[in-house]
Structure 1
Amino acid sequence: MVDDRDQVLGEAVRLREAGRREEARERLVALSARFPQDTEVAYQTAWVHDTLGLEAEAVPYYERALAGPGLSADDRRGALLGLGSTYRILGRYEEAVATLGDAAAEFPDDGALRTFLAMALYNTGRTHDAMEMLLTLLAATSKDPGIAGYRPAIEEYAKDLDATM
């Protein structure tokens, strides 16, 4: 039965990657019904719903994926990003900030998590926090020589955009 699970899961992931998302969704929904506690199956099922624009349907699968052990660190990071982003798209901004904030604390070197957190912060009216996060990330990661040349100033302004130097 587990061999069958692995085969169907692998096939569904290949279908999703090949752009045959609806076929992948059908297989994953059926597999998820057979293995309701399987976090990897739940994550893949959430992911395919997101790729189809079915965000509301993705949420319970993301939540199930994150509720138990079994996800690799990379899949856990992806599930947290997916859930937080999905909450934001659905207008559930406070839940997005909480999810993405916890994720960014768990994976502090992940710039994508901080970027999506900044968007959610913006949606909650916390524009200063959002700008600080984005400017700090930009200064730390940009390969643009003009930005790199102004890195110290950008980092300083990120702390308080209203301050004058």
Structure 2
Amino acid sequence: MTTDPYGGRLARAVRLRADGQAEQARELLLSLRAEFPDDAVVAYQTAWAHDVLDLEAEAVPHYRAAIAGDLPETDLRDALLGLGSTLRALGRDEEAAEVFGQALARFPADRPLRVFRAMLRYNTGDAREAVADLLRLLADTTEDPDIRRYGRAISHYAEDLDRGWLG
């Protein structure tokens, strides 16, 4: 039988954030970070609480600590997405590109990561690749029968936006 090293406080903080009480969650999580400074899950939850409160700059070191630690795969993917998105929001585009590159190397098929990278590409002036990325995602994921009918053409256009497809 395993015991909860946090005494229920981490679960309480997650509930508080989910219930819209992010400031209370943040305070509790900062207390847990002081007590468990090397705990990747606590760092990840702390970063998330800061992001919810639009405290992006304060979220970054918590995301970095979480990613450097031993996170479960799902949390790692979410932490990489959160850090990349937060860096993008802060205008730290080169760092965001590095994070999204690392994330997509580890999780190449992850669609939300691809969408957030496309937004970054748009912000950095690479609108062509941003649109191509989004077209590929649309062609791969849509359930809309009218768009699916043109899926092959959309995929080809994504490869060469200037010329398109004549097939």
TM-score range, shorter chain: over 0.9
Write the letter of the residue equivalent to 2:75: D
Write the letter of the residue equivalent to 1:41: V
Comparing 127-136 with 22-31, which one deviates more in the overlay?
A: 127-136
Write the letter of the residue equivalent to 1:29: L
Instruction: Specify which structure has the higher proportion of helix.
Output: 1
Paired with 1:16 and 1:6, the residues of 2 have a C-alpha distance of 18
Identical aligned residues as a percent: 55
Cross-structure match for 2:4: 3
Paired with 2:135 and 2:29, the residues of 1 have a C-alpha distance of 39
Q: What's the CA shift string for 1:69-101, capped at 9, x where partnerless? A: x21110000000000000000001111111112
The structural deviation recorded for 1:105 is: 2.3
Contact 1:94–1:124, Cα closer than 8 Å, also in 2: no
Cross-structure match for 1:60: 61
Unaligned runs of 5+ in 1: none
Q: What's the CA shift string for 1:131-155, capped at 9, x where partnerless? A: 1111001100011111100001000
Q: Does 1:163 align with 2:163?
A: yes
- Aligned residues between the structures: 163
Unaligned runs of 5+ in 2: none
Q: TM-score normalized by structure 1?
A: 0.94
Q: What's the CA shift string for 1:90-126, capped at 9, x where partnerless? A: 0011111111122122112211100000001111111
Please tell me the root mean square deviation across aligned C-alpha atoms, in Å.
Answer: 1.2
Cross-structure match for 1:71: 71
Q: TM-score normalized by structure 2?
A: 0.93
In 2 relative to 1, CA 119–10 (structure 1 residues): closer, same or farther, beyond 3 Å? same
Q: Does 1:33 align with 2:30?
A: no
SS at match of 1:36: coil
- 1:147-162 aligned within 5 A: 147-162=147-162
Moved over 3 A (4+): none
Paired with 2:45 and 2:138, the residues of 1 have a C-alpha distance of 31
